[in-house]
Amino acid sequence: MGQIEKIKRIQNFFDFYRLAEVSRNEMYHGRVQNALYVTSTLFTKEDEFKVLDLGGGSGTLALEIVKKYPCAKAVVFEHPTVAKLPKN
């Protein structure tokens, strides 16, 4: 079995969309608050910085960071099936 076939089997095994959908609500039960606390120890609201959120699910964390830090920029990189989640 080639590498591409292996990747397709993994993608068919995991329902990335469902996993991200379930964890979206969990993000607000400590994860986002902890990340915002850590960023507050590093940056001020006037600081310009970039966030790369790999496997960012619905983009909740990135959204909350750029809401708190208007000069920040964020990019969320996610599996294509999960990328549809924020639209729904």
Instruction: Return the exposure string of 36-66: e unless at least 16 CB atoms fall within 10 Å of the residue's CB, then b.
Output: eeebeeebeeeeeeebebeebbbbbbbbbbe
Look at residue 15 in the predicted model and tell me its pLDDT: 66
Look at residue 14 in the predicted model and tell me its pLDDT: 61
Q: With cut-offs at 50, 70 and 90, classify the pLDDT of residue 67.
A: very high
CB atoms within 10 A of CB 78: 20
pTM of this prediction? Answer: 0.66
Query: Which residues neighbour 63 within 8 Å (Cβ) at sequence distance 6 or greater?
Result: 74
Look at residue 60 in the predicted model and tell me its pLDDT: 85
- How many Å apart are CA 23 and CA 57, to the nearest integer? 8
Query: pLDDT tens digits for 41-53?
Result: 999 999 999 999 8
Asked if pLDDT for residue 35 goes beyond 70, the answer is yes
Q: Where are the domains of the chain?
A: 3-87
- How many Å apart are CA 81 and CA 18, to the nearest integer? 9
